[in-house]
Copies of this chain bind each other. A is one copy, B any other.
């Protein structure tokens, strides 16, 4: 076996599993652990993976604190994303904001869908990068290093240039009367996206229903559809349904 082949297998193994150990690779490739160690050191230098004690881990463009958030309630978010995707039709233009449920939607976008996605979120952009037919317009602006999205005047002006079909809104907190979030700039972005879309669809794990955050986004009634992972209505969703919001 060529060294090149071995390197490819190591990288592949590491990327698909998220990590790999000297032990397992040594057995799998029938070479000593020392050789694997040296291989991984080389691959680390090339930036193809990161060498750690005991083996290697895959390098991810998106840091951990975001990743953690991304992976909480992942099953619920997948259900929500599934429901949301059924609302999208080819040819539409969509706003995606920086929420993690919205990101999940970006990840499962059917490969034959020809849509234009406008976003201020780097993780969303990374997800769409690999999509064959979706077009992406990224909103410029200052970088928020915790949410990995852009904000500020530049971003708001960018949003104002469009009037899109659907805005997929990641919900931080929803009370019976109002939507709110944890960050002033994020709130401003969400407000602008709502104003420049025909229809607003909120994505929300049900634990966020009946919670509040410091920064006001909008009256709940301005949202057209709310998607949660829970199909049978809860008291919270029923109250929102009475306001005329479609619950999915």
Contact = CB atoms under 8 A, between A and B. Distances in A.
Copies of this chain present: 2
Given A3-B52, A137-B140, A138-B138, 17 more contacts: A2-B53, A2-B54, A4-B19, A4-B57, A5-B57, A46-B71, A48-B71, A61-B126, A63-B130, A122-B129, A125-B143, A129-B143, A137-B142, A138-B140, A138-B141, A140-B150, A140-B154
Interface string A15-54: 0001101000000000000000000000001111000111
Contacts of A150: 138, 140
20 contacts: A2-B21, A5-B19, A8-B18, A46-B74, A47-B70, A61-B126, A122-B125, A122-B129, A129-B148, A136-B142, A137-B140, A137-B141, A137-B143, A139-B140, A140-B140, A140-B141, A140-B154, A140-B155, A140-B158, A154-B158
A202 interface: no
Contacts of A21: 2
Contacts of A122: 122, 125-126, 129
A74 B52 contact: no
Query: Could you tell me the dominant secondary structure of chain A's interface residues?
Result: mixed
A99 interface: no
